[in-house]
């Protein structure tokens, strides 16, 4: 086989994915309105098949394609499977939503599939322009998806803000790339590392270039101070898209950043400590800003946005701790991404189910949810506890691993700060849980029979009756539909499994991170 | 391998697994018949009680050290986290304590009618977490179970608790639950940092691990420099101290009690606060001995403040639960003091005090809960003459009160006496203050007894019924334990002495 | 041949002008156009760098030019998408003034 | 004799039996208690005979060099504090000392307790908590006997606290009465203040000696291991405990209030046995006091002050039981004084004589109360007629304690005064004699007013006729009366081998019977004069006290107000302790909680609210912040790389 055909062969999954997306678009034209759901099933089946196929085809292979533009290795394989798996669950949780709230379902799924293709490419890009193009594929899809609720001015506004700030940051990123190119003469990650560490070439132009690059990635990750679009976009986007943004696009950007930093910055040993400080500073700012501002939120999606900014802070802390021979931090980041994805999936699926039935998305709307729909309440509560980093859920294990890696990488103070901001985050997660479990169902509030909040007291002594919300038929909600239920249950299983038995996953992660940062 | 050896080898694993698995299974009991959940929880907690007794009895105090050990590989290099189990002479009595209190707590939780299924799920999970902390030998899992024990508290208090208006201020259950949770997790922030610091140090020493035995060896070998230990130990001291009610980080505890339902208060004061003290011993003293040595004068000072401050605060409280809550703060002060003496008798006394106070305070909460269930009030200025209607409750409360003020013949005395003894040897002036604190305890306990239980019968309380048979049984059993330990503490002490002796070897 | 730095200064100036536009303009359309300016700054930089590298003998595969073409293409697509969204915005809210586009904040 | 431990155990076993099964049984469990203490009394004789016949060197018996007394010590392990074998670990034992001191206490406690329990059958008849009453009694007897037997300080402390609790329970037995509740609380807390000192003393001894065993401590005190400073400190701390229990100034305030309990309880616990425990403790720990010297002086001074103070108040009191209570305090003071004056044997002799006499007086008073339901002597009078037996026995007790010769109190008091005159500054003997005079005066007053003066029925609120004691009450009184009258006999050197009490109960060396004639004569004269004067005042009413009353009005007010000691305590509690506690509670809520806890939470929340404003909702500000971030990065690089 010639190199070209070999290269093409190795990209088979990507081609197939693109084909799948196109197929969905095509079928959208022919399928009648009532059968559009088929497209979702086709997408999911395709993704599942592709994931399996990729594993079978690529397991154990480490190849560099097109002169180092792309890497088909365990790292990218891991992320490919991860992204496609996520895609399945995101589609699964959006079907009902799309049916109820959005038009043009076919395109929705098609675009979603393209965005996954973008992420797959991001995970295997080893060159800046390739990465940029992949990033743009993802971003374009997200801009469209954000704007998908056409009649909703919030969706519209979110998309506008997203695309303008996105384009702005793209310009910044590209400007950075151009400066790097002008010094290094190449846009390969490894060339970047070489140039950075050769004293003659490294100068203000290169540094500013890398700084701009970092800013561009920071935007994608929504790291402070490049985070401000996130709350608006999360709030305005249709709920499944918000979920997708929070879970998948973040993971995609993180995968890209991880490879870029590992291959492009870490090997430049002389300057890497400076970058570590920058990353640590970004991490600290993200954790604090995200978690502190989240305290003041009332909208669930916005809350999740700020919370995700906080989580990005943790990821960045992990990136700051990357080191040659320090694969633990890379493991930690990947592990964190997976655990965070599983957890967020549970929360978002439950929220989608709630939204589908009530059309509400304020925190206060959740009041009494534990009485109205215990399963949803339990799922959200478990998800939030997990996000706050409490055992026996994934959140605890991933945080412990990541922070241990951060500490081990020499940033004990940063780990401490991360743990502290987890404490802050616990407060607002608990506020949500409080709404669901302690507050009464709205409308059934305090009455004479001792239901609801404590009755007013007149005596100087204490007397109270436990809050009790009656389960009236009007207030009760249905259990989630089969698809959302499946997502919730699968997510819960994953959250618990990662919480108590992460061993097998960590082995896979180690294989992946070995590629970008060999040796521990 | 016969059944017995099989149990023996897996007893520690089972005792952690049983409540957690029980919690999961409880979820599948019928929603329509809440009693099912209760019955199932009784079954589970009875199993854990049996296991805890088995573990305690099985512990060979002559041999000492860690026993019933077992290791489940979990994560390899570079974390080296393993579910490593084992109890020593300090943990074994506490396992027993938790077994007893969990069982008692589940029994008296019969009165929980609303969402009882969820309640037992959380309660069992809490119990499982506590067992976990007592039996693991791995820092990660210790922390894991520690947090697991904390987590359910929020909902247990928030959902099933009660809000109270005290006239000048209010204490809602939300406030109590939130404060408790944030305090405890804030404490765990410090613990976590401390754990990571040790791990990093172990890494630098070439053997990254979370295994506590290995870390303890490294500490003894001098792999953890004194400077490191000096700043890591206070993290553990304050982090775990929060849970132990260490002044000035104690305010979550009384407020938590005021809001919590009975069974939760029992576990909260009975075992959860002991986790804190246990953590200081197990993690702080074992892994950072030099730091412990340097900081103990501070700790014992704080412990003394705890004793006196708690006692004086309790004296002017009007709410039964506040009185007991502050009294717990005061009593935990003895535990802290005992630990801080670093003297075999003092530390042994502290461990015994954990056991004794656990039973005693659980007993008090059973009774206060029973009174509250019936009278819907806990104000000692309003309650009076309860003895007429609730003779059994009064009898049991009087014994608990007497145990609390350190009456000889009841368990509290032996423990406090040992703490005093140890403190007397090491920190004479503070010991004098602590002994005086014991007299203050008498003041508020007797005042409480005189006001609420004895005195003229008030027609308002004429409708109250005495304890139910279940409550009587639980309270009676607790009283028997108090007396048994008070009269013959040797079975507990010989186990504790072994553990304390090997703990203090490094000092 | 003029030194690279001249082009870089030109490009930086262009970039900053674009940046100023983004910050100062209140019409979404003009903001998009300002972004276009920034992207053009990128292109100048790329092409200048490519020829500079050629002068140094480190020029391979027309990298800079190719990148510039990619940038132009993708930027065009981006602008198209942005304008579509702005159009939708205009239909929904009858305004493209970014001052008024703040339903969501804090 | 090694079975002597059964003496308390009988009663210990009786306690739960009565609690659990008492009610349905015939006699509601009282027979169990009485049988138990009766068995104890029998065993006491067995133990006494065993002690007298045992040969040195066997059965753990030896002559202690510290006390010079033939001592038997039996112990079994109780618990180990610290791993056995390690340095600093200590073994605590259930152990008993059998020596004359213990035997004397055993005998007196078992006897008086038996008497009082029998008496109570009649006195407490029909009480709704009859079973509980006997249960407490059984527990008390058990604890008191343990106290007497204990061979180590910890066990002593255990028993010490248990008797305190029983006292608390029995004082507050009629808890429906607020006065009883408060008195019980007060008794417990005040004695506990002293106990703090005692526990500290015990711990101090452990620190110095390394053991809780009394014999070890005594040995150390004897051979100087325990230096004089430590011995003084330990002795004074132990004495604090003794002061609390024995109601010595300034801890005496609880005892008069304790009269709220049933009268038989007052007789047993607050006259004969428990309050004597303080005296017993000092006597028991005598080697330590001896090693100190200074401590003994303190004991003497406190004893004297207490004796004086209490006897003056007794004179001004109008409540029959309180008169007796102050008398008790006064006599306990005398015993302390005696101990301080090296009158070891005298103190214990007086302890017994006083115990029997005072128990008799209380039982007599109980009989009066039972019959008249009246406690104020101003409402009594002429009761000699309706209750002759009670009158006779009460008078016997009063005369005995008043110091009328040949009755028990005379001999013992004489021994005390004699010891004081020999070993102390003359001022002591003068004041002690004055106390003796006062003691005779108030005894005479009580006796004459209640039984002999004119009958005063206007205060009598009851319809049923006043009757004399029934058999179950009379019999114990009679037996005690015999002892009150004749107990003095044991102090003499009788023909044969018996060399008087001093040859049995002594410290270091035998003390023969001796009498200091001038003291005997002076004290007798004083007593007679006092009785005569009281007779004139209260029976014949020849002398009116009105003149004196007006002349000394301010002084009398001070005395009637008990020297304002109660006020002082009340003030301390209300204005110091409770205020401090309220302040701490307030600080806890307002400062520690609201500022220290809620404050930071509030601040964090506000920071969040303030910070969220940076997301303005305007596109350009988003871009601006990103730009600033970029500039920040660039500046960082500039600083870093430049």
- Cα distances from D499 to residues A284, A351, D513, in angstroms, run 92, 99, 8
Cβ atoms of residues B144 and A392 within 8 Å? yes
β-bridge pairing A63-65 and A70-72:
antiparallel
Q: Which residues contact D530 (CB under 8 A, 6 or more apart)?
A: D402, D437, D440, D441, D444
What is the C-alpha to C-alpha distance for residues B7 and B15, in angstroms, rounded to an integer? Answer: 10
Chain A residues lying within 8 Å of D620, measured CB to CB? none
Compare CB distances from A165 to D609, D612, D623 and report the shortest one's residue: D623
Can you give the pLDDT at residue A453? 36
Interface-testing mutation among D597, D611, D620, D622, with chain A (most A C-beta atoms within 10 A)? D622
Q: Which residues contact B320 (CB under 8 A, 6 or more apart)?
A: B368, B371, B372, B378, B379, B380, B383, B448, B452
Would the CB atoms of D623 and C23 count as touching at under 8 Å? yes
> Once rounded to an integer, what is the mean pLDDT over residues D502-527?
81
What is the C-alpha to C-alpha distance for residues D262 and D171, in angstroms, rounded to an integer? Answer: 7
What is the C-alpha to C-alpha distance for residues B259 and D216, in angstroms, rounded to an integer? Answer: 52
Q: Where are the alpha helices (DSSP H) in D373-489?
A: 388-402, 408-423, 426-447, 471-486
- Torsion of Cα atoms, A38 then A43 then A49 then A55, to 10°: -170
Neighbours of C58 (CB within 10 A): 11
Chain C residues lying within 8 Å of D613, measured CB to CB? 106
Q: Which residues contact D13 (CB under 8 A, 6 or more apart)?
A: D36
Can you give the pLDDT at residue D641? 65
What is the C-alpha to C-alpha distance for residues A152 and A145, in angstroms, rounded to an integer? Answer: 13
Where residue C64 falls among pLDDT bands split at 50, 70, 90? confident
- Cα distances from D130 to residues A26, D28, D426, in angstroms, run 97, 7, 51
Average pLDDT value over all residues in chain D: 85
- Which helix (H) or strand (E) segment holds residue D91: the answer is strand D90-98
The answer to the question of residue A390 being in a domain is: yes
Would the CB atoms of B251 and D592 count as touching at under 8 Å? yes
What is the C-alpha to C-alpha distance for residues A458 and B220, in angstroms, rounded to an integer? Answer: 61
Chain B residues lying within 8 Å of D161, measured CB to CB? 407-409, 413
Distance from chain centroid for Cα D539: 35
Can you give the pLDDT at residue A446? 45
- Cα distances from D443 to residues A109, B116, D376, D397, D538, in angstroms, run 108, 69, 15, 9, 12
Can you give the pLDDT at residue C58? 65
Q: How would you class D295 by CB atoms within 10 Å of its CB: exposed for 0-12, middle for 13-18, buried for 19 or more?
A: buried
What is the C-alpha to C-alpha distance for residues A337 and A85, in angstroms, rounded to an integer? Answer: 13
- Which helix (H) or strand (E) segment holds residue D90: the answer is strand D90-98
pLDDT tens digits for chain A (520 residues)? Answer: 467 777 888 888 999 999 999 999 999 888 888 888 888 999 999 999 999 999 988 888 888 888 888 888 889 999 999 999 999 999 999 998 988 888 888 889 999 999 999 999 999 999 898 999 999 999 999 999 999 888 888 898 999 999 999 999 999 999 999 988 888 888 888 888 888 888 777 777 888 888 888 899 999 999 988 998 999 999 999 999 999 999 988 999 999 999 999 888 888 888 888 889 989 999 999 999 999 999 988 899 999 999 999 999 999 999 999 887 666 888 899 999 999 999 999 999 999 999 988 888 888 888 888 888 888 899 999 999 999 988 889 999 999 999 999 998 889 999 999 999 999 999 999 989 988 888 887 766 543 333 333 333 333 333 333 334 344 444 677 878 888 899 999 999 999 999 888 888 988 888 888 888 875 4
The answer to the question of residue A250 being in a domain is: no
Angle of CA points D317, D350, D267, to nearest 5°: 50
What is the C-alpha to C-alpha distance for residues D550 and D533, in angstroms, rounded to an integer? Answer: 19
* Nearest residue to A228 (alpha-carbon basis) of C105, D632, C82: C105
Cβ atoms of residues D238 and D288 within 8 Å? yes
Q: How would you class A359 by CB atoms within 10 Å of its CB: exposed for 0-12, middle for 13-18, buried for 19 or more?
A: exposed
Cβ atoms of residues A83 and A334 within 8 Å? no
Question: Domains in chain A: how many in total?
Answer: 1
What is the C-alpha to C-alpha distance for residues B416 and A320, in angstroms, rounded to an integer? Answer: 51
> Once rounded to an integer, what is the mean pLDDT over residues D381-386?
79
The pTM score is 0.90
Q: How would you class A218 by CB atoms within 10 Å of its CB: exposed for 0-12, middle for 13-18, buried for 19 or more?
A: buried
Structural domains present in chain C: 4-93 (1.10.287.3510)
Total length of chain A: 520
**Position C19 pLDDT exceeds 80:** yes
Distance from chain centroid for Cα A178: 28
Can you give the pLDDT at residue A512? 87
Return the sign of the alpha-carbon dihedral for residues D479, D485, D488, D490: negative
Can you give the pLDDT at residue B247? 84
DSSP A372-439: H-HHHHHHHHHHHHHHHT-TTSHHHHHHHHHHHHHHHTT-HHHHHHHHHHHHHHHHHHHHHHHHHHTS
- In this complex, does chain C touch chain B, defined as having at least 3 beta-carbon pairs under 8 Å apart? no
Tokens describing residue B80: 């080296």
Tokens describing residue D540: 């014949």
**Position D428 pLDDT exceeds 70:** yes
Instruction: Please name the chains neighbouring C, where neighbouring means 3+ C-beta pairs under 8 angstroms.
Output: A, D
Would the CB atoms of A179 and C53 count as touching at under 8 Å? no
Neighbours of D1 (CB within 10 A): 22
What is the C-alpha to C-alpha distance for residues B229 and B237, in angstroms, rounded to an integer? Answer: 12
* Nearest residue to D302 (alpha-carbon basis) of D314, D289, D291: D289
The answer to the question of residue A242 being in a domain is: no
> Once rounded to an integer, what is the mean pLDDT over residues D509-532?
83
What is the phi/psi pair of residue B143, to 5°? -65, -40
- pLDDT tens, residue by residue, B93-152: 999 999 999 999 898 888 887 788 888 888 899 999 999 999 999 999 999 999 888 888
SS3 assignment, position B319: strand
The answer to the question of residue A337 being in a domain is: no
Where residue D98 falls among pLDDT bands split at 50, 70, 90? confident
Query: Using N-to-C axis directions, what is the helix angle for D228-245 and D178-209, rounded to 10°?
Result: 160
Compare CB distances from B200 to A408, A434, A461 and report the shortest one's residue: A408
Count Cα atoms within 13 angstroms, Cβ side, for D38.
Answer: 8
The answer to the question of residue A363 being in a domain is: yes
Neighbours of A59 (CB within 10 A): 11
Compare CB distances from A296 to D612, D617, D628 and report the shortest one's residue: D612
What is the mean pLDDT, run by run of 10 residues, along chain B of 507 residues? Answer: 77 89 86 83 91 89 85 82 89 92 89 83 90 91 90 88 83 87 89 90 86 88 87 92 89 88 87 90 90 90 91 87 90 92 90 92 89 84 80 88 88 89 88 87 85 78 83 90 90 89 85
Can you give the pLDDT at residue A347? 93
Can you give the pLDDT at residue A456? 36
Can you give the pLDDT at residue A285? 93
Can you give the pLDDT at residue A449? 35
β-bridge pairing A70-72 and B67-75:
unpaired
- pLDDT tens, residue by residue, D158-203: 899 889 888 988 888 888 888 888 888 888 888 888 888 899 999 8
Q: What is the largest CA-CA distance in chain C?
A: 55
Q: Which residues contact A391 (CB under 8 A, 6 or more apart)?
A: A397, A499, B144, B145, B147, B148, B151
Return the sign of the alpha-carbon dihedral for residues A8, A9, A11, A12: positive
Count Cα atoms within 13 angstroms, Cβ side, for B375.
Answer: 29
- pLDDT tens, residue by residue, A107-133: 899 999 999 999 999 999 998 989 999
Return the sign of the alpha-carbon dihedral for residues B380, B382, B385, B390: negative
Can you give the pLDDT at residue D464? 64
Chain C residues lying within 8 Å of A175, measured CB to CB? 11, 15, 38, 41-42, 45
Q: Which range of residues forms the domain containing residue A516? A: 344-520
The answer to the question of residue A473 being in a domain is: yes
**Position D512 pLDDT exceeds 80:** no
- pLDDT tens, residue by residue, D30-89: 888 888 899 999 999 888 888 888 776 676 788 888 888 888 888 888 888 888 877 778
Chain D residues lying within 8 Å of B493, measured CB to CB? 79-81
Cβ atoms of residues D251 and D194 within 8 Å? yes
Which residues sit opposite D98 in a β-bridge? D72
Neighbours of B381 (CB within 10 A): 11
Return the sign of the alpha-carbon dihedral for residues C1, C2, C5, C11: negative
What is the C-alpha to C-alpha distance for residues D523 and D588, in angstroms, rounded to an integer? Answer: 60
What is the C-alpha to C-alpha distance for residues D69 and D72, in angstroms, rounded to an integer? Answer: 10
The answer to the question of residue A183 being in a domain is: no
Q: How would you class D545 by CB atoms within 10 Å of its CB: exposed for 0-12, middle for 13-18, buried for 19 or more?
A: exposed
Shortest Cα–Cα distance, C68 to chain D (Å): 23
Instruction: Please name the chains neighbouring B, where neighbouring means 3+ C-beta pairs under 8 angstroms.
Output: A, D
Residues 237-276 of B with CB under 8 A from D: 248, 251-252, 255
Query: Using N-to-C axis directions, what is the helix angle for A250-260 and A74-101, rounded to 10°?
Result: 160
Angle of CA points B436, B415, B191, to nearest 5°: 95
> Once rounded to an integer, what is the mean pLDDT over residues D515-543?
84
Cβ atoms of residues A268 and A139 within 8 Å? no
- Report percent pLDDT > 70 for chain B: 100
Average pLDDT value over all residues in chain B: 88
The answer to the question of residue A64 being in a domain is: no
Give this complex's ipTM: 0.88
What is the C-alpha to C-alpha distance for residues B58 and B356, in angstroms, rounded to an integer? Answer: 21
- pLDDT tens, residue by residue, D566-583: 888 888 888 888 888 888
- pLDDT tens, residue by residue, A211-234: 888 899 999 999 988 998 999 999
Can you give the pLDDT at residue A166? 92
Can you give the pLDDT at residue A290? 92
Chain A residues lying within 8 Å of B145, measured CB to CB? 391
Cβ atoms of residues B440 and B74 within 8 Å? no
Closest CA in chain A for residue D619: A161
- pLDDT tens, residue by residue, A342-364: 999 999 999 999 998 888 888 88
Can you give the pLDDT at residue B130? 92
């Amino acid at each position: 086989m010639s190199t070209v055909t070999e290269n093409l062969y190795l990209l088979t999954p990507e081609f197939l994915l693109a084909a799948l997306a196109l197929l969905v678009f095509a079928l959208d034209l022919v399928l009648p309105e009532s059968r559009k759901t088929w497209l979702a099933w086709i997408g999911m089946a395709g993704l599942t098949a592709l994931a399996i196929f990729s594993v079978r085809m690529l397991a154990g292979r480490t190849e560099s394609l097109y002169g180092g533009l792309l890497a088909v290795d365990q790292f990218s394989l891991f992320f490919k499977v991860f992204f496609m798996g996520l895609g399945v669950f995101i589609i699964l949780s959006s079907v009902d939503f799309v049916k109820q709230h959005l038009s043009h379902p076919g395109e929705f799924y098609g675009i979603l599939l393209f965005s996954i293709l973008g992420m797959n490419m991001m995970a295997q890009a080893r060159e800046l322009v390739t990465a940029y193009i992949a990033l743009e594929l993802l971003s374009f899809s997200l801009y469209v998806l954000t704007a998908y609720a056409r009649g909703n001015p919030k969706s519209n506004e979110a998309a506008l803000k997203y695309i303008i700030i996105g384009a702005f940051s793209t310009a910044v990123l590209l400007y950075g790339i151009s400066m790097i190119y002008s010094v290094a003469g190449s846009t390969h990650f490894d060339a970047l590392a070489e140039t950075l560490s050769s004293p003659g070439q490294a100068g203000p132009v290169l540094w500013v270039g890398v700084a701009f690059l970092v800013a561009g990635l920071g935007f994608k990750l929504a790291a402070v101070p490049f985070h401000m679009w996130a709350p608006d976009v999360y709030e305005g986007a249709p709920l499944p898209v918000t979920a997708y943004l929070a879970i998948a696009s973040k993971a995609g950007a993180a995968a890209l950043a991880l490879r870029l930093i590992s291959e492009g910055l870490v090997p430049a040993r002389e300057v890497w400590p400076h970058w570590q400080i920058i990353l640590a500073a970004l991490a600290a700012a993200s954790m604090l800003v995200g978690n502190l501002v989240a305290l003041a939120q009332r909208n669930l999606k916005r809350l999740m946005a700020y919370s995700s900014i906080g989580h990005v802070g943790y990821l960045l802390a992990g990136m700051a701790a990357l080191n040659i021979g320090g694969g633990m931090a890379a493991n930690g980041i990947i592990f964190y991404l997976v655990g965070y994805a599983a957890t967020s999936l549970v929360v978002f699926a439950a929220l989608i189910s709630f939204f589908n039935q009530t059309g509400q998305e304020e925190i206060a709307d959740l009041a009494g949810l534990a009485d109205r729909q215990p399963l949803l309440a339990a799922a959200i509560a478990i998800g939030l506890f997990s996000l706050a980093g409490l055992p026996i859920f994934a959140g605890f294990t991933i945080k412990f691993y990541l922070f241990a890696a951060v500490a081990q990488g020499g940033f004990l103070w940063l780990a401490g700060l991360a743990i502290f901001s987890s404490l802050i985050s616990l407060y607002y997660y608990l506020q949500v849980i409080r709404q669901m479990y302690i507050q009464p169902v709205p409308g059934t509030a305090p009455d004479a029979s001792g239901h609801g909040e404590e009755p007013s007291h007149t005596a100087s002594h204490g007397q109270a009756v436990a809050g009790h919300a009656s389960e009236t038929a009007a207030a009760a909600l249905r259990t989630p539909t089969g698809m959302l239920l499946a997502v919730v249950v699968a997510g819960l299983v994953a959250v618990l499994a990662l919480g108590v038995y992460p061993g097998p996953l960590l082995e896979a992660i180690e294989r992946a991170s070995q590629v970008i940062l060999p040796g521990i | 391998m016969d059944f017995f050896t099989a149990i023996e080898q897996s007893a520690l694993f089972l005792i952690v697994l049983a409540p957690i698995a029980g919690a999961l299974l409880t979820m599948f009991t019928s929603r329509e018949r809440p009693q099912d959940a209760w019955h199932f929880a009784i079954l589970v907690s009875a199993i854990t009680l049996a296991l805890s007794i088995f573990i305690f009895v099985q512990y060979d105090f002559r041999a000492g050290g860690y026993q019933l050990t077992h290791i489940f590989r979990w994560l390899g290099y570079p974390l080296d986290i393993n579910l490593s189990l084992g109890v020593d002479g300090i943990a074994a009595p506490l396992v027993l304590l938790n077994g007893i209190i969990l069982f008692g707590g589940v029994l008296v939780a019969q009165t929980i009618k609303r969402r009882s299924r969820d309640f037992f799920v959380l309660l069992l999970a809490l119990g499982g977490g506590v067992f976990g902390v007592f039996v693991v030998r791995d820092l990660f899992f210790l922390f894991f179970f520690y947090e697991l024990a904390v987590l359910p508290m929020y909902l247990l208090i928030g959902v099933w608790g009660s809000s109270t208006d005290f006239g000048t201020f209010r204490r809602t259950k939300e406030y109590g639950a939130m404060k408790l949770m944030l305090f405890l997790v804030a404490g765990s922030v410090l613990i976590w940092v401390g754990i990571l610091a040790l791990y990093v140090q172990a890494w630098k020493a070439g053997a990254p691990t979370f295994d506590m035995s290995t870390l303890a060896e490294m500490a003894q070998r001098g792999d953890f420099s004194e400077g490191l230990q000096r700043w890591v130990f206070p993290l553990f001291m304050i982090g775990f101290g929060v849970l132990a009610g260490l002044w000035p980080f104690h305010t979550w505890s009384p407020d938590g009690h005021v809001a919590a339902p009975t069974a939760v208060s029992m576990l909260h004061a009975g075992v959860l606060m002991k986790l804190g003290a246990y953590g200081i011993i197990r993690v702080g003293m074992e892994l950072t001995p030099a730091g412990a040595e340097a900081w103990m004068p501070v700790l014992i000072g704080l412990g003394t403040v705890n004793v006196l401050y708690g006692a004086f605060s309790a004296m002017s409280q009007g709410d039964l639960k506040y009185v007991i809550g502050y009294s717990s703060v005061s009593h935990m002060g003895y535990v802290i003091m005992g630990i801080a003496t670093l003297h075999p008798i003092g530390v042994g006394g502290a461990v015994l005090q954990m056991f004794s106070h656990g039973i005693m305070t659980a007993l008090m909460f059973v009774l206060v809960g029973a009174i509250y269930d019936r009278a819907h009030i806990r104000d000692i200025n309003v309650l009076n003459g309860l003895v007429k209607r609730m003779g059994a409750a009064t009898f049991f409360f009087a014994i608990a009160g007497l145990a609390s003020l350190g009456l000889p013949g009841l368990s509290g005395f032996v423990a406090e006496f040992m703490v005093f003894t140890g403190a007397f040897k090491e920190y004479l002036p503070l010991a004098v203050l602590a002994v005086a604190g014991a007299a203050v305890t008498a003041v508020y306990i007797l005042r409480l007894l005189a006001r609420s239980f004895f005195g003229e019968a008030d027609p308002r309380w004429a409708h109250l019924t005495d304890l139910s048979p279940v409550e009587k049984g639980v309270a009676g059993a607790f009283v028997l334990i108090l007396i048994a330990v008070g009269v013959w503490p040797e079975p507990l002490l010989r186990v504790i002495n072994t553990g304390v002796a090997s703990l203090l070897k490094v000092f | 041949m003029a030194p690279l730095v001249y082009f870089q200064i030109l490009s930086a100036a262009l970039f900053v002008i674009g940046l100023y536009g983004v910050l100062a303009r209140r019409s979404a359309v003009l903001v998009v156009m300002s972004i276009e300016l920034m992207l053009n700054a990128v292109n100048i930089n790329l092409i200048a760098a490519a020829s500079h590298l050629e002068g140094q003998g480190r020029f391979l595969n027309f990298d800079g030019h190719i990148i510039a073409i990619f940038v132009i293409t993708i930027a065009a697509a981006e602008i198209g998408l942005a304008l579509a969204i702005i159009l939708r915005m205009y239909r929904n809210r009858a305004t493209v003034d970014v001052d008024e586009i703040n339903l969501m904040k804090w | 004799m090694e079975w002597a431990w059964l003496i308390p155990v009988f009663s210990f076993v009786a306690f739960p039996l009565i609690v659990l099964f008492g009610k349905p049984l015939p006699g509601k469990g009282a027979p169990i208690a009485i049988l138990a203490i009766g068995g104890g009394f029998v065993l006491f004789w067995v133990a006494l005979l065993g002690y007298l016949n045992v040969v040195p060197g066997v059965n753990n018996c030896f002559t202690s060099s510290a006390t010079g007394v033939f001592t038997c010590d039996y112990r079994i392990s109780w618990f180990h504090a610290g791993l056995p074998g390690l340095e600093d670990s200590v073994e605590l034992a259930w152990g008993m000392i059998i020596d004359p001191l213990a035997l004397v206490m055993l005998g007196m406690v078992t006897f008086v307790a038996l008497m009082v329990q029998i008496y109570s059958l009649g006195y407490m008849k029909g009480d709704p908590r009859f079973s509980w009453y006997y249960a407490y009694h059984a527990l008390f007897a058990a604890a008191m006997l343990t106290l007497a037997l204990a061979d180590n300080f910890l066990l002593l402390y255990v028993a010490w606290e248990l008797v305190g609790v029983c006292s608390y329970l029995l004082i507050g037995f009629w808890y429906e009465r607020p006065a009883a509740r408060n008195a019980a609380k007060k008794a417990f807390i005040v004695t506990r203040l002293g106990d703090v000192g005692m526990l500290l003393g015990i711990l101090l001894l452990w620190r110095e000696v390394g053991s809780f065993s009394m014999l070890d401590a005594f040995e150390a005190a004897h051979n100087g291991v325990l230096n004089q400073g430590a011995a003084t400190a330990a002795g004074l701390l132990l004495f604090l405990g003794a002061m609390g229990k024995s109601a010595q100034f300034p801890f005496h305030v609880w005892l008069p209030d304790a009269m709220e309990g049933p009268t038989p309880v007052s007789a047993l616990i607050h006259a004969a046995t428990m309050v004597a425990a303080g005296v017993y403790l000092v006597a028991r720990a005598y080697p330590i006091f001896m090693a100190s010297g200074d401590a003994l002086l303190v004991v003497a001074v406190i004893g004297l002050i207490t004796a004086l103070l209490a006897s003056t108040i007794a004179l001004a009191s109008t409540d029959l039981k309180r008169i007796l209570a102050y008398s008790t305090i006064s006599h306990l003071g005398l015993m302390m004084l005696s101990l301080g004056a090296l009158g070891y044997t005298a103190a214990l002799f007086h302890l017994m004589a006083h115990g029997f006499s005072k128990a008799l007086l209380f039982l007599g008073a109980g009989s009066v109360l039972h019959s008249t339901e009246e406690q104020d002597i101003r409402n009594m009078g002429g009761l000699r007629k309706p209750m002759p037996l009670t009158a006779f026995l009460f008078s016997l007790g009063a005369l005995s304690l008043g110091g009328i010769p040949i009755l028990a109190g005379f001999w013992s008091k004489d021994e005390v005064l004699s010891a004081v005159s020999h070993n102390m500054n003359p001022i002591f003997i003068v004041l002690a004699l004055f106390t003796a005079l006062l003691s005779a005066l108030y005894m005479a007053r009580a006796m004459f007013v209640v039984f002999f003066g004119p009958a005063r029925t206007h205060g009598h609120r009851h319809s049923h006729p006043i009757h004399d004691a029934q058999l179950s009450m009379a019999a114990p009184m009679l037996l005690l009366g015999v002892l009150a009258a004749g107990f003095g006999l044991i102090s003499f050197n009788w023909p044969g081998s018996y060399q008087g009490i001093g040859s049995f109960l002594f410290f270091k060396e035998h003390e023969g019977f001796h009498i200091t004639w001038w003291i005997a004569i002076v004290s007798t004269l004083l007593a007679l004069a006092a009785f005569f004067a009281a007779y004139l005042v209260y029976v014949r009413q020849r002398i009116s006290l009105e003149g004196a009353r007006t002349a000394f009005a301010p002084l009398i007010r001070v005395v009637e107000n008990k020297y304002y000691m109660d006020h002082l305590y009340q003030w301390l509690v209300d204005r110091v302790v409770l205020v401090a506690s309220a302040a701490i509670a307030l600080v806890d809520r307002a400062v520690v909680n609201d500022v220290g806890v809620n404050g930071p939470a509030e601040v964090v929340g506000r920071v969040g609210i303030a910070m969220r404003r940076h997301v303005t909702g305007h596109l350009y500000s988003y871009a601006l912040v990103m730009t600033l971030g970029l500039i920040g990065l660039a500046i960082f690089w500039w600083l870093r790389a430049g």
